[in-house]
Amino acid sequence: MITDADLDFHNHNSPDFDHAETLFLIFSIPEARISGNAYVLCRPNAGVCLSSIYVHQGMHANAWTVDYSDAPMHVKCPETMANFTLSNGLSVKGSNGARDYHFQYDGRERLCRFDLQFTGLMDPFDPLDPVQNPMLEAFGGDPEASTGAGDSWTKGHYDLVGRIEGELELYGHKFAVSCVDGLDRSWGPRAEWNSAPVSWMHLTFGDDLAFHLVVTLDVVGGQTVYTTFRFGYAVVDGEVCAITAAEVDAESLGMLGIHRVVRITDARGRQWEMVGAAIAAAPWHTAYTSFISFQSLYRWTMGDRIGFSNVTDVIGVTTLSKRLSKLGKQLD
């Protein structure tokens, strides 16, 4: 069970230099086709912290054309992740059983600022807890197999969706933020070697209906293919139910997702099918050199329901090299 204690560091007395603690928020302003994120990776054993703020409007094939990026490496690691302020201007405070978070950012030269309140619509979902995640048993109780993210989530991970309210100011333009999207927190070893290819998906239709999926993927013929459903949940009228099956059909432009059809079955046997079309997308790799996150903000339709939320396809650079480079393709 995730509690406020999990806002703080785990294993900070270990000598392991590659122990990492992460926090990630993704948000959007659909009417302006804007997607943004705030990411923190702390290495308390090394005393350093990586922080990335990334905001883009519309479609971007390249990271250097996005609207804003701030990713200093490194800043001083805070004493705690429960309530901290970094030297790049990012402040975060978590509360309410790790359900609620207040993100504030005031960047250099005042080019970008935001004040965002994330209010969880559920208790944090722990994929390593068999009570919450029946797929853990389906993969033989193996945390690495059941999460699909290599060693990154094997020691600790939680995910939740929430209502995000606040304001973003970008180059003097002010935008009201009001969306439902995802947040996650992880801790454990991070060797930063060729991250396992995995898709971190949120499909939200309002406070009363939202979904989260983790699906492993591959690159075949230059296109993203979604291979194995790992875990997920549905939030229906405030009640959380684990997902037990999911399929994803997709089209990409380069590596950026532009179209998806998603079919979901939960533990109660309820089924949903939804279609997503990207209204904003960009590759995010300013935070890491070992992998690229191809992020897309989708407009979802399901019957008469419409929603907007983000999908992030995380792929190791070495995997991309093996699949797409001239020499790498000779390995097949």
Find the CATH number of the domain harbouring 95: 2.40.370.10
pLDDT for 145: 85
pLDDT for 309: 98
Residue in 259, 260, 311, 309 with CA at minimum distance from that of residue 282:
311
Residue span of the structural domain in which 47 resides: 4-331
Q: Report the percentage of the chain scoring pLDDT > 90.
A: 80
Q: Residue 236 in contact with residue 154, Cβ under 8 Å?
A: no
As a whole number of Å, the end-to-end CA separation of the chain is 43
pTM of structure: 0.95
Q: How many domains does the chain have?
A: 1
Higher-pLDDT residue of 330, 91: 91
**At residue 115, what is the residue type?**
D
In whole angstroms, give the CA distance from residue 20 to residue 34: 29
Higher-pLDDT residue of 330, 230: 230
pLDDT digits (tens, 9 = 90+) for 150-205: 777 888 999 999 999 999 999 999 999 999 999 999 998 888 777 789 999 999 99
In whole angstroms, give the CA distance from residue 281 to residue 253: 10
Q: Is 238 helix (H, G, I), strand (E, B) or coil?
A: coil
**At residue 85, what is the residue type?**
T
DSSP bridge partners of 199:
215, 313
pLDDT digits (tens, 9 = 90+) for 253-304: 999 999 999 999 999 999 999 999 999 999 999 888 889 999 999 999 999 9
Instruction: List strand residue ranges (DSSP E) for 221-316, in order.
Output: 223-236, 239-253, 256-266, 271-284, 291-302, 305-316
Q: 190: which residues sit within 8 A by CB, 6+ positions away?
A: 18, 19, 20, 22, 41, 151, 152
pLDDT for 153: 84
In whole angstroms, give the CA distance from residue 23 to residue 158: 10
Residue in 237, 242, 239 with CA at minimum distance from that of residue 264:
242
Tokens of 242: 């684990």
- Cα dihedral 130/134/140/143 (nearest 10): -60
CA atoms within 13 A on the CB side of 29: 20
Give the rounded distance of the alpha carbon of 155 from its chain centre: 17
Q: Is 297 helix (H, G, I), strand (E, B) or coil?
A: strand
φ, ψ dihedrals at 4, nearest 5°: -60, -25
In whole angstroms, give the CA distance from residue 62 to residue 81: 31
Confidence of residue 102 (pLDDT cuts 50, 70, 90): very high
φ, ψ dihedrals at 63, nearest 5°: -65, -25
Q: Is 157 helix (H, G, I), strand (E, B) or coil?
A: strand
Q: SS3 string of 192-227?
A: CCCCCCEEEEEEECCCCEEEEEEEEEEEECCEEEEE
CA atoms within 13 A on the CB side of 55: 22
* Cβ-based neighbour number of residue 44 at 10 Å: 23
**CA-based angle 61:66:70, to the nearest 5?**
130
**CA-based angle 69:284:87, to the nearest 5?**
40
Confidence of residue 332 (pLDDT cuts 50, 70, 90): low
In whole angstroms, give the CA distance from residue 202 to residue 118: 15
Q: For all residues of the chain together, what is the average pLDDT?
A: 94
